Amino acid sequence: MPFLILYKKLGPIFIKVGFAFFCVLMVSTAIYSWHLNKTIKEKFDGRRWAIPARVYARPLELYPGKKQDMTQLEKELLLSGYRLDERGNIPGSFHKKEDQFHIVTREFDFGDQIEPSKNMMVAFSGDVITEIREKNRNVSANIVRIDPVLIGSFLPKEHEDRLLLSRNELPEVLVKTLLAVEDRSFYRHHGIDLRGIIRAVWVNIRSRAALQGGSTLTQQLVKNFFLTNERTLWRKVNEAIMAVLLDWQYSKDEILTAYANEIFLGQDGGRAIHGLGLASQFYFQRNLEDLDIHQIALLVGIIKGPSYLNPRKYPERCQKRRRNVLQIMREVGIINTKQFDLSSASPLMDTEKNLSGFNRFPEFLELVRRQLHKDYQEDDLTSNGLKIFTTLDPEVQWKAEEALSSALIELERKKKIDGLDGAVIVTNRNNGEIEAVVGSRFPGSGGFNRALDAHRPIGSLVKPAVYLAAVEKGYSLMDILDDTSLVWNNHDGSQWIPRNFDRKEHGRVPLYRALIQSYNLATVKLGISVGIEKVAQVLERLGFEKEIALYPSLLLGAIPMSPLEVCQLYQTFSGEGFYTKLRSIIRVLDSENKPLKRFPLVVEKRIDGEHIFLINTALQKVVERGTAKSLSNYIPSSYNLAGKTGTSDGSRDSWFAGFSGDKLSVVWLGKDDNSPINLTGATGALTVWGKMMSQLNVEPLRLTEPPGIKWVLVSKDSSQANDRTSGILKLPFLAVTHQEDKEIMLRSMENTKKPDRSKNVLEKILKWLF
């Protein structure tokens, strides 16, 4: 009775309070739902994923007559994600048969045209392609262009990578399998499925295995796309609310496609593999539409736990999980018993390793990033799905890496040196395209990129610029220089006393011999005569873009440069006076394969052809009979290569820069702590250069002789004091016409104190010349 009285008095109050609480709860839920919905709209309607820029090597072009190492071709095909497949009927596959390659190329948009998939036969005779035939049409082909190697990506902060797919690109067998395993009521529920949760629990208990999960695909998408993986009740509440809101506002196919692109499916070093499209390439080196039934089952199966079910690390776990998925596929009618048996017996993987795309050549990629930053913001590179086509040649890169690594090991063993490191740059002599960048003896490790950032004194590599300045001022290769000691008094009272490397003085020597033997004293006196400022101007015209300190030590290379900067200087020498800006990028496409920017070849004539011809001829003599003559141990002297050795003060840096008919390369060796290495340019960097170039089948060097050049025969005694062979040496001269120039040349010959016979020969030639 008292309770009824109390209820009559307080009941209305409780009802009002309860109603008010309910109203507050509903309003709060509505407001919070509105907030969650705003979050969904902002992220799902906008740019859903940050798609990293993909960076490609140069396309692989094959044509009859091309020299192509078959081993290197196979290696590059494998790097491009092509599979060895005897059937040879699926794009992205190939096989070898004696002296033939059978390749089924993939369709690829190069920006200038879409190259369709083709079934090609490429025949070889030795290392030369003799025939290319398109097998489907049985017709000969003049050229085949194979999709380029993906060498890396510029990943966003989350380090996620994915290949976006549309709903039409999802194979129906894959979709049916995914729904059968993960969410059978997907097209019937409204974001959450209570019956599905109960059914999953029952199936798992009956099978004594976790075959099904309770969360819908929509809930999984919400968790991965909007929320975190924390295991709390509040996160599950948010997940349920957002799943309902997402299902209410977007179509089922749109949600399914987003899930297929978002799901995490593995790890590639520092790169997270997201989405079924990229996972298919990563695990099987196939496009999603080319997957077999057993591969689809594996891909769907590892969604449950990509790390725990990693097929490479834990094949037994993965095999069991794949079989469970195949059982479900058979139960729901996706496959029959025969297909189940065949798929269950298939190997987990048909490739030796996963297709890694995580920055295979980080030193080169760093150069690409720096050049792109002149035109693009960092967000453009990591979020907008750009396709960047570069100049990298994988074959050249591999051989440069191998040459540097093997040479350093050998030098450390023979010379008892520890901590030696180096860098290599290789470019195309004709167009300035950078084909290889090696920034460390441990390529691919990242870290300090010596090719771009090791600024070290270049030593005698500066001398061709000094002699070029002299030639421009009227000196000839036969003018006599004084290679004797000198003392330079600095403004602060200190003295600079240069010396030759051999600590000897060589007296009066012809200009060309001072260059090919790299005499310091003669070079300094010549540079002072020409003018240090004039030498600095020549360096600027050759391509050096930084401020130059005008000290006499500049004449012996006391100027720090990176290997890339040195390469730019020598690109102008190899270009025979034409400056070509080094480039690592050919073109950039947007996410829809529309051209954004091209990086055209820019050529500018900076040095007169006749002047550069004289110096380049002298650089050929450096290799023939000068400080780089040991290069003949690697490449025949008949190739007429040109180059220059360089050694910095105290033997701390070993340099070699040289070029053939088609390639230019700069090599630097040294230690990061700048301690002496006791290697000259000839005993150190030249050995790397020689090993590498001998593997690259370089072309002989044939300089273009400009108008206004006359060749003169001089005594070999004037080139090498100890040369006991008889005969004469042929050198180029400008075709001067004035009597004054003739008298200067005759005085130069008299000063060399040649035998009368040689002098008479030269006088006869000069009479003809003038």
Cβ partners under 8 Å of residue 310, min gap 6: 266, 302, 318
675 is catalytic: no
Residue 29, classed as helix, strand or coil, is helix
Burial 186-211 (b: 16+ CB within 10 A, else e): beebebbbeebeeebeeeeeeeeeeb
β 93-97/83-84 pair status: parallel
182 is catalytic: yes
Burial 102-123 (b: 16+ CB within 10 A, else e): bbbbbebebbeeebeebbbbbe
CA 561 to each of CA 287, 520, 627, 753: distance values in angstroms, whole numbers, following the listed order = 46, 20, 22, 40
Residue 519, sorted as left (phi over 0), alpha (psi -120 to 50) or beta, turns out to be beta
| CB atoms near residue 674 (< 10 Å) | 13
Residues 53 and 365: their CA atoms lie apart, in Å, by: 11
Residue 531, classed as helix, strand or coil, is coil
Selected catalytic residue, list 182, 401, 433, 435 = 182
- Beta-strand runs (E) in 20-87: 53-56, 60-62, 83-84
| CB atoms near residue 143 (< 10 Å) | 10
Which strand (E) or helix (H) includes residue 491?
none
Residue 495 — φ and ψ, nearest 5°?
Answer: -125, 145
Residues 655 and 680: their CA atoms lie apart, in Å, by: 8
Structure letter (DSSP) for residue 700: P
Structure letter (DSSP) for residue 542: H
Residues 606 and 569: their CA atoms lie apart, in Å, by: 12
Among residues 138, 99, 145, 92, the alpha carbon closest in space to that of 122 is found at 99
The amino acid occupying position 9 is K
CA 518 to each of CA 84, 85, 249, 625: distance values in angstroms, whole numbers, following the listed order = 53, 56, 77, 12
**Angle at Cα 371 formed by Cα 399 and Cα 656, nearest 5°?**
40
Residue 429, classed as helix, strand or coil, is coil
| CB atoms near residue 86 (< 10 Å) | 11
- Asked whether the beta carbons of 669 and 408 are under 8 A apart, the reply is yes
Selected catalytic residue, list 215, 460, 518, 665 = 460
Task: Give me the helix-helix angle, 233-249 and 252-262, nearest 10°.
Answer: 130
Residue 702 — φ and ψ, nearest 5°?
Answer: -125, 100
Burial 24-39 (b: 16+ CB within 10 A, else e): eeeeeeeeeeeebbee
Residues 759 and 119: their CA atoms lie apart, in Å, by: 69
Residues 224 and 230: their CA atoms lie apart, in Å, by: 11
Among residues 610, 626, 497, the alpha carbon closest in space to that of 553 is found at 497
Residues 552 and 529: their CA atoms lie apart, in Å, by: 11
Torsion of CA 431, 432, 435, 440, to 10 degrees: 170
Residues 405 and 412: their CA atoms lie apart, in Å, by: 11
β 387-390/585-589 pair status: antiparallel
Annotated active-site positions, please? 182, 460
